[in-house]
Structure 1
Amino acid sequence: MFYMIGKTIDGYKIIKAIGSGTFGHTFKAIKGNKIFAIKILKPEAMSNEIKSGGFKRFEREVRSLQKVNSEYVVKYINSGIWLDSEIEHYFIVMEYIDGVDFNKYLKKHRTEFIKNENLMKKIFSEILNGLYDMYKQKIIHRDLKPANIFITHNN
């Protein structure tokens, strides 16, 4: 994953690894003077996905991100295929959220979070607002988990 640092994909220069999952890696990238998040699918995951007909998952994620319009859901910017050493890398560019995933947040602030009913209500209310906005647009979040929920530094 770290071999991607410094590479440029469609004008987005990768500057930092910020996460990894089953199907891909997420990086912090810069284009011009703006910061973005770029999710790059693992080539081996994509070849397995294509063989099993699962490439539709990538397409579905792109379509969903393009369609959703909510202040509680990360914004889609761009997507495509990037060729590096004759290997195709599928990528999705999204707005960058300056914060931490909910899983890490809970590990660090669990006691404070449990004791602060107002903070709990605020965070869960915003999660539900995002899900409701997606529901209104007939989009189902297929991978909702604490690691996929971001808490900004100002909560």
Structure 2
Amino acid sequence: MSKPKPAPLPPGTVVGGYQVVKKIAAGGFGVVYLAEDPDKRLVALKEYLPASLAERAPGELIPRVKPDKQPLYRLGLKSFFEEGRSLAQIAHPSVVSVLNFFRENETVYMVMNYLQGDTLQDFIVTARDLKRDKVFRESTIRSLFDEILRGLRIVHQYKMLHLDIKPANIFITNENKAVLLDFGAAREVLSKEGNFIRPMYTPGFAAPEMYRRDGSLGPW
């Protein structure tokens, strides 16, 4: 029997002055909510909540972590916080904007611009379901990838690596602009420290050196 996932924060919950409207996404390492800031502007609120390490019952705020998993939880927490700190320094239209990051409820929250649109993955799946041959025109694809590469160059200038570029982490806004999402620093730390965590790379999308334990990683 699979372990139940930690419960997301219910609508109306206030953390760090931001009020949760609803959950919009959840993965193995966190939950993303649509939220309102104190001025009622919509933002995306990402909570560090690794499903393999933490438990939380509906209605609770603080994740429960067993003592033997505390060191790994804290390590991932620190990395998630550092990811927020690093991304907050970057101002580029093709890199997700971090507006704020803070500690509360024994975890960390990252506040980002709320983007309207869909991931490239969503576009591909929808096109497949509708039995369309093409998702985008070639000229559109060239333009989107140029934007992503320009954003990635800025990321590398800040000594960061994304490590998980794939269609699910490329967001296409309603204005047809491409934005890199999910830098996954916490995932990197967790995968290095414990073999019970799934690998940090996505098979089929990762660079060859990421499949080897001794592979040297860099902007290349």
Task: State if a TM-score over 0.5 links the two structures.
Answer: yes
Pair member with larger Rg: 2
TM superposition shift of 1:60: 2.8
The farther-off stretch of 103-112 and 120-129 is 103-112
1:108 aligns with 2:126: yes
SS at match of 1:68: coil
- What is the letter of the counterpart of residue 110 of structure 2? I
How has the CA–CA distance of structure 1 residues 129 and 75 changed in structure 2, closer, same or farther, with 3 Å as cutoff?
Answer: same
- TM-score, normalised to structure 1, is 0.83
1:18 aligns with 2:24: yes
SS at match of 1:147: helix
1:8 aligns with 2:8: no
SS at match of 2:127: helix
Q: Is the Cα–Cα contact under 8 Å of residues 31 and 47 in structure 2 kept in the other structure? A: yes
Name the structure where strand makes up a greater proportion of residues. 1
Residues matched between the structures, number: 150
TM superposition shift of 1:34: 1.0
Q: Deviations over 1:41-91 (max 9, x none)?
A: 1161885875233333213311221222211111111111222xxxx2321
2:40 maps to 33
Structure 1 spans left out of the alignment, 5+ residues: none
**What is the 5 A alignment of 1:33-72?**
33-42=40-49, 44=54, 47=65, 50-52=70-72, 53-72=75-94
Runs of 4+ aligned residues of structure 1 deviating over 6 Å after TM superposition are none
- TM-score, normalised to structure 2, is 0.61
RMSD (Å), alpha carbons: 2.3
2:171 maps to 150
SS at match of 1:113: coil
- What is the letter of the counterpart of residue 77 of structure 2? F
Structure 2 spans left out of the alignment, 5+ residues: 1-6, 56-62, 177-220
How has the CA–CA distance of structure 1 residues 7 and 107 changed in structure 2, closer, same or farther, with 3 Å as cutoff?
Answer: same
Identity percentage of aligned residues: 31
